[in-house]
């Protein structure tokens, strides 16, 4: 029997190894600027090009599919979601089609759909004038400005009072947010819900607690979230209703929720696993490998979604360092050997210049810990993270990178259909 042939958009060696280990025949599309040579050993074919070029990716996928048909298209990346939906629709493959993936990729489209369906309505509007922004903030007590598309909190900013409107408007112009939306500022407990869908049925695998320190870039996560039974049920049911409303059919989803005094509200939702090593937290806490599930579904005609069984807690904490030139990094080896530490990553070295964090990728490292409970995991990971010393000295101000600069560095286009 021939091994199922899948097309994977992007994907590092760790992820593609999981596909190869299940006997899948992998064709991989990757961008040259993000290519890792280690992935080649897990692929039967590897094509390096800008797969966000709609015309090119369509013609290449159609040609390859006519010779050796794909059974599924799988991507774990944000930038691959709308491409996979487009190709599923174009080639008639199972999975989430273009309408679903474009709705999830466009934050305003998702908000308007949920508002129309009465699923946790949140006031929102498309790009507006400074005066209208001031009126919106005055009416709703606060707002969030965000680009219509993107991930990692890039270009997201909170406005807590009308006094901040003028400065925010200047930032919008200088940062180059482009087409953006505003929505009412949600307050409460921030969470994310990690799910897997198969044939339109959704299974909640974990609920993740978050620490944002009242900002927009997450500083830490824990699985399981510290929720009571009533709130857990409400969040689970609401998330499944949202995925039904969007029309999600198959695969991993990561839905960010604010548990407000009026009940759960969606912040964003994505047809992919959460970043920030959330998949590893879920695996440690429940035994379920979110990264492998799409490949298991592709490899096994009788696939069923495994039932999560909580077996402990896991937490990740991101390292915090003042902007400037790094003069000292210490405590890493002892932190790596600390009780419960599963992963530790420090990306910054002495001499590097740390810029003010503009999105998740700007954080200089993290510690990931496993423990018997979520609360103990949080205690341990914060203790270990605090033991790592990173000192900086101020440097002369440089022109701040724009949103376009950041996207170019990440080899990412927000809207490949533009």
Please state whether the peptide bond connecting residue 409 to the residue before it is cis, i.e. omega within 30 degrees of 0: no
pLDDT band at 184 (very low <50, low <70, confident <90, very high): very high
Predicted pLDDT of residue 328: 95
Average pLDDT over residues 223-230: 97
> Helix, strand, or coil here: 17?
helix
**Higher local confidence (pLDDT), 10 or 214:** 10
Lowest mean pLDDT among 59-73, 211-225, 326-340: 211-225
- pLDDT at position 397, please? 73
CA distance 222 to 276: 11
Average pLDDT score over residue span 357-374: 91
Token pair recorded at residue 37: 């040579």
> What's the average model confidence in pLDDT over 395-404?
79
Range name among 19-28, 227-236, 249-258, 358-367 with the lowest pLDDT average: 358-367
Mean pLDDT of 127-145: 93
**What average pLDDT does the structure give for the chain?**
94
Nearest to 243 by CA among 148, 94, 120: 120
- Identify the DSSP state of 213: T
For residue 262, CA distances in Å to 36, 193, 231, 234, 259 come to 46, 18, 12, 11, 8
**Whole-number pLDDT of residue 413:** 85
**CB-based burial label for 86 (10 Å; 0-12, 13-18, 19+):** buried
Q: How far is CA 115 from CA 121, 138, 148, 266, in A?
A: 5, 21, 16, 10
Pairing state of beta strands 324-330 and 389-393?
A: antiparallel
Task: Write down all domains in the chain, each with its CATH number in brackets.
Answer: 5-94 (3.40.50.20), 123-184 (3.30.1490.20), 189-311 (3.30.470.20), 315-393 (3.30.470.20)
25-30 vs 45-48, strand pairing mode = parallel
Looking at residue 401, its pLDDT comes to 81
């Amino acid at each position: 029997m021939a091994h199922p042939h899948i097309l994977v958009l992007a994907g590092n060696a760790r992820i593609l190894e999981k596909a190869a280990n299940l006997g899948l025949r992998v064709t991989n599309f990757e961008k040259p600027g993000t290519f890792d040579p280690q992935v080649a050993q897990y692929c039967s074919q590897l094509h390096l090009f800008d797969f966000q070029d709609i015309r090119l990716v369509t013609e290449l996928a159609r040609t390859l599919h006519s010779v050796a048909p794909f059974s599924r298209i799988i991507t774990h990346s944000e930038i691959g979601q709308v491409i996979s939906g487009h190709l599923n629709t174009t080639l008639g493959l199972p999975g989430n089609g273009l309408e679903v993936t474009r709705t999830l990729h466009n934050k305003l489209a998702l908000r308007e759909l949920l508002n129309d369906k009465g699923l946790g309505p949140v006031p929102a509007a498309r790009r507006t004038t400074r005066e209208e922004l001031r009126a919106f903030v005055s009416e709703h007590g606060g707002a969030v400005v965000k680009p219509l598309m993107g991930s990692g909190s890039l270009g997201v900013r909170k406005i807590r009072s009308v006094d901040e409107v003028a400065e925010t408007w200047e930032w919008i112009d200088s940062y180059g947010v482009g087409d953006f939306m505003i929505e009412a500022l949600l307050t409460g407990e921030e969470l994310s819900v990690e799910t897997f869908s198969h044939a339109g049925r959704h299974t909640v695998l974990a609920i993740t607690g978050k620490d944002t320190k009242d900002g927009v870039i997450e500083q830490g996560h824990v699985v399981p979230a510290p929720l009571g039974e009533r709130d857990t049920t409400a969040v689970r049911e609401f998330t499944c209703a949202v995925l039904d409303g969007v029309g999600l059919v198959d695969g991993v989803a990561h839905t960010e929720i604010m548990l407000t005094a009026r009940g759960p509200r969606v912040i964003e939702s994505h047809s992919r696993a959460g970043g920030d090593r959330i998949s590893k937290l879920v695996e440690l806490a429940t035994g379920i490998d979110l990264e492998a599930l799409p490949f298991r579904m592709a490899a096994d005609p009788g696939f069923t979604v495994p039932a999560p069984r909580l077996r402990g807690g896991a937490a990740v904490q991101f390292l915090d360092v003042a902007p400037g030139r790094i003069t000292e990094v210490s405590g890493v080896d002892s932190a790596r050997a600390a009780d419960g530490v599963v992963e530790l990553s420090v990306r910054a070295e002495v001499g590097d210049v740390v810029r003010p964090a503009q999105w998740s990728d700007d954080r200089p490292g993290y510690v990931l810990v496993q423990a018997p409970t979520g609360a103990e995991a949080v205690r341990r990971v914060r203790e270990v993270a605090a033991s790592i010393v990173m000192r900086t000295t101020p440097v002369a101000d440089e022109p701040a990178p724009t949103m376009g600069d950041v996207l170019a560095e990440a080899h990412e286009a927000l809207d490949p259909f533009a």
